[in-house]
């Protein structure tokens, strides 16, 4: 798994998030993780298949999920994550992964993306398919999204 496969996701955040009205988009830590790690809140997984095969798991802690969904739905706040708010987050991850796929295409790596799967819960153990996973942390205004990127060799 090559670190150059992370930059299309950063590019996607920089294009998609301002269009949705988010003002400050910053890159946080970039680290490698083992294939199994844990997450709580909202986890959305999107498959990518083509010249590379893999998955991206977006992990939103509950508060970040509420804030980002509220901004997308243009409401001041969300008390509880409803189907509507999770649909908004699903649409966001779909847009981000589609834009990442476009950035990969510019690198001559063609891929298509699956529909997202959205899971909410606490202390969920996630096992990706590659031995090493890149975790890119993105700060969006006062929220955080962990982008776990896993491509097979």
Partner 1 sequence: MKNVRIVVVDDSALSIALISDMLEQNGYEVVGSAGGLEEVKEVITETMPDLVTMDMTMPGTDGLECTRAVHAINRDIRVIVVSSMMDDEIISQAKRNRVSGYIQKPVDEGDLIAMIERVMSAEELFNVLKADYFEVFKDALRDGLNRLTKTLITYQEEYLCETEYTAEGIAIMIGIIGEFPGKMLVSISKSTAHVLTTTVLKREPKSNEEIVETMSEFANIVAGNACSVLNKRNRAYGLRVSPPSVLSGENMRISPLNYPTYTAIGETVFGKMLINVGFKRGEIEAWT
Give the footprint of partner 1 on this chain (CB under 8 A): 36, 43, 45-50, 53-55, 57, 83, 86-87, 90-91, 112-130, 150, 152
Q: Which is nearer to partner 1, 27 or 53 (CB)?
A: 53
Q: Are 79 and 89 in contact (CB under 8 A)?
A: no
Q: Which is nearer to partner 1, 70 or 139 (CB)?
A: 70
Q: CA-CA-CA-CA torsion for 74, 56, 107, 139, nearest 10 degrees? A: 50
DSSP state for residue 134 in the 8-state scheme: E
**Segment holding 36, helix H or strand E:** strand 25-50
Least distance in Å: CB of 129 to partner 1?
3
Torsion angles phi and psi, residue 54, rounded to 5: -175, -165
Least distance in Å: CB of 29 to partner 1?
22
Least distance in Å: CB of 64 to partner 1?
17
Q: Which is nearer to partner 1, 122 or 142 (CB)?
A: 122
């Amino acid at each position: 798994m090559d670190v150059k496969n992370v930059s299309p996701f950063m590019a996607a955040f920089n294009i998609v998030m301002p269009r949705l009205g988010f003002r400050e988009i910053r890159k946080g830590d970039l680290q490698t993780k083992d294939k199994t790690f844990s997450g709580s809140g909202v986890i959305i997984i999107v498959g990518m298949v083509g010249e590379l095969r893999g998955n991206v798991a977006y992990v939103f802690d509950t508060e970040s999920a509420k804030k980002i969904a509220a901004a997308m739905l243009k409401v001041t706040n969300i008390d509880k994550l409803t189907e509507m708010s999770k649909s908004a987050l699903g649409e966001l991850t779909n847009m981000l992964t589609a834009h990442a796929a476009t950035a990969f295409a510019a690198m001559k790596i063609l891929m298509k993306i699956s529909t997202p799967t959205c899971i909410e819960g606490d202390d969920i153990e996630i096992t990706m398919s590659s031995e090493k996973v890149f975790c890119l942390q993105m700060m969006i205004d006062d929220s955080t999204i962990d982008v776990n990127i896993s491509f097979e060799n």
